[in-house]
Amino acid sequence: MEEELLQHGMFSWSELITKDAEAAKQFYAQVFGWEYTEFPMEGMSYSVIKANGQEIGGIMPVPPQAAGTPPHWGVYVTVDDVDASAKKAEKLGAAVIVPPTDIPDVGRFCVFRDPQGAVLSMITYLRK
């Protein structure tokens, strides 16, 4: 990932959560020419999207803890400290939907709903 995307406040990742990841991958490959690299995760496979050889996002099936959630695209904003940023967002009226959680070999993320109802994810990446 480009260094500028690892800076606090930058949009850094897009992710599709969908009921049929394989169909979605085929669709977007035809529309945009995307290619994918598969990463096995606990109980599922995560597909990293590549555009012109650059990793830009991911596609995954709806996880069990989000059963019933309709397919949707989400975005991640990089933060220096996801725990502190989640607390700050709550203090300002947000509701944390997914508390700060580790993603092995990636970093730590959370999902929140802002005071107006919009959902957004934030992430602190591991520095390699």
pLDDT in tens, 77-116: 999 999 999 999 999 999 999 999 999 889 999 999 999 9
pTM (two decimals): 0.89
Are 57 and 92 part of one and the same domain? Answer: no
Tally: H helices and E strands in the chain: 2, 8
Assess whether 34 and 83 both reside in one domain: no
Report pLDDT digits (tens) over 4-53.
999 999 999 999 999 999 999 999 999 999 999 998 887 788 999 999 99
63 shares its domain with 39: yes
Q: What's at 108, amino acid-wise?
A: R
Tens-digit pLDDT profile for residues 40-57: 887 788 999 999 999 999
The C-alpha atoms of residue 95 and residue 24 are separated, in whole angstroms, by 30
In eight-state DSSP terms, residue 9 is T
Do 54 and 4 share a structural domain?
yes
Q: Based on the domain organization, do 52 and 100 belong to the same domain? A: no
- What is the rounded CA–CA span in Å between residue 88 and residue 100? 13
Range of the domain at 83: 79-128
- Supply the CATH number for residue 105's domain: 3.10.180.10
In this structure, the number of other CB atoms found within 10 A of the CB of residue 67 comes to 7
Considering the domain architecture, whether residues 67 and 99 belong to the same structural domain is answered as: no
- The residue from 74, 91, 106 where one domain ends is 74
Alpha-carbon Rg for the chain, nearest whole angstrom, is 15
Q: Are strands 72-78 and 107-113 parallel, antiparallel or unpaired?
A: unpaired
Q: Are 70 and 83 contained in the same domain?
A: no
